[in-house]
Amino acid sequence: MRREGRPEDLGSKDRADISHFVSRAELVARRDLRDATSELRLVLAMVALTLAIPIASAIGVRALAYFGGGTAVVNRLAVVGAFFVVFIPASFSLVLALEAFVGERERTTLEVLLSTPLRETEIYAGKVAAVLAVSLGLCYGGLVVYCVAVFPGLGYFPLGVLIALALSTICQVAAMVAGAVIISLNARTMRAANVMASFIILPMSVVLQVEAALILIGRSEYLWGFAALMIVLAIVLLRMGLAGFSREALLARDVGLRKPLQRAIVAIRWSFRGRPGIVRLLWLRRIALALAAFGFVAGMGVGFLAGKTNAIPGAVVKPALSSLLSASGGATPVQEAIGIFGHNLLAFVLAALLAILTAGLSGFALTFLPGFLLGYAAALSSWSVALGGVYPNGLVEIPAAIVAGGLVIQIGAAAIHMQPNGGWTTRTMGALADYVRSLRWLVPALALAALLEVRFG
């Protein structure tokens, strides 16, 4: 007699489902790869990225070594050259990812793709896989050409740094592709997608500067930590893009709607109507608030470890600690309270203004950075001294920062997450309206914290 529900049967079914999913996603990926490599000019551009730029960079490093540029300088320049050789092809992924869906719309092939029996996850995975395959192929092809042209005979091969750079490149490209695909899902025209790409370019330029600084330091463990952060960012963006991918929403979007200013004004008016009260708002945003609270705790832990291990020199952090903890010389208590209040309010406003550009990371930084400074101060002295420096004003200021940070994170989430029941402007304006309305409670809290800091600090 046939027995059902056996573990081996379930395992076989799961493997069959995975194999079926991979094969159908591969169909979409092959289709996009065929389109990407069908134009001769595009192929020539990709070959130039893979060969010309690495060879030119290698010639520069070799010339410096030949004419006696100094061993330390040549070695450091060789590593920096590897970074730029990987970065320039990685930027090519933006072009392909932005074209993923909005390009199909302009070529009038989107309806054909979405009318196939493919599931939404299979279409999304195939699109992302195709862009990643081309981008990472260009990055690693250029890196291999550069290493073959530079390091033989140089007497220097930073294997650890290059491996960390290769891993961080995967995560960095995945994050850029995920963000660009989200933009491609939301944009109605390619022109709009190119404009919205600044939301990726600006944050990624900061990320690239941080990565370049870590490479100049020459310690691979920093690059491994950077790669771990980029992995988390890539997973979050990929998950949010997949969760917001709606076949019905894509088919329902109109191209080139008129009167954008009037529609924006209507969206702003709507966003302030019927918003929840502060208590219900905090409950609705409890996950974002938990992320902001985790940012403060994580900042304390990272700051304490950085201070104990001297991973970040005290000369870098102590000026910030001194400016935050020391009283203003010659200022009256009222002037000092106004200065503290203005500094904190400016931080809250800047975090909200940068929320869309940073996908909400500015809200996480709003709690992470104070936590980092507190943990670093505890490493230099003790936890009792560090906590005493923020008591009792911290009892008001820290919860206010967590609330503000959580609402800023929600703004970033609303900006990059597509929902079928509302457009980008509607979602973003609604999240901004919640933040503006919360200032009725946050501003008095900051004023109270400033008074407590002056009175008991």
Residue 371: Cβ-neighbour burial (10 angstroms; 0-12, 13-18, 19+): buried
Give the position of tokens 């793709």.
113
Residue 373 within any structural domain of the chain? yes
298 and 378 belong to one structural domain = yes
Residue 441 domain-assigned?
A: yes
Tell me: do 204 and 89 sit in the same domain. yes
If one counts the domains in the chain, the total is 2
Whether residue 242 lies inside any domain: the answer is yes
Task: Please indicate, yes or no, if residue 237 is contained in any of the structural domains.
Answer: yes
Residue count of the chain, please give it: 457
Please say whether the beta carbons of 103 and 80 come within 8 A. no
Output the pLDDT for position 346. 93
Contacts by 219-228, CB closer than 8 A, 24 or more apart: 220/158, 220/160, 220/161, 220/163, 220/164, 223/161, 223/164, 223/165, 223/168, 224/164, 224/167, 226/164, 226/168, 227/164, 227/167, 227/168, 227/171
Residues 237 and 280 in one domain: no
Is residue 39 domain-shared with residue 139, that is, in the same domain? yes
Q: Do 332 and 226 sit in the same domain of this protein?
A: no
Does the residue 2 lie in any domain? no
- Same-domain pairing of 270 and 358: yes
Predicted structure pTM score:
0.67
Please tell me whether residues 245 and 383 are part of one structural domain: no
Task: Identify the domain boundary among 225, 252, 279.
Answer: 252
Do 240 and 267 belong together in one domain? no
Same domain, 358 and 245: no
**Same-domain status, 248 and 273:** no
Q: CA angle at residue 345 from 406 to 232, to 5 degrees?
A: 30
Tell me which residues of the chain have a pLDDT lower than 70.
1-14, 68-70, 218-221, 249, 251-261, 263-264, 267, 314-316, 318-331, 417-424, 457
Domain end among 232, 252, 272: 252
Instruction: Note whether residue 287 is domain-resident.
Output: yes
Best CA proximity match to 115, nearest among 251, 4, 260 = 251
286 and 221 share one domain? no
Separation of alpha carbons 285 and 305, rounded Å: 30
According to DSSP, the residues that pair with 201 across neighbouring strands are: none
**Domain span including residue 342:** 260-456
Domain edge (last residue) among 217, 252, 287: 252
272 lies in a domain?
A: yes
pLDDT attached to residue 257: 54
**Quick check: 85 and 146 in contact, CB under 8 A?**
yes
pLDDT score, position 400 = 95
In a domain, 435, yes or no: yes
Same domain, 233 and 272: no
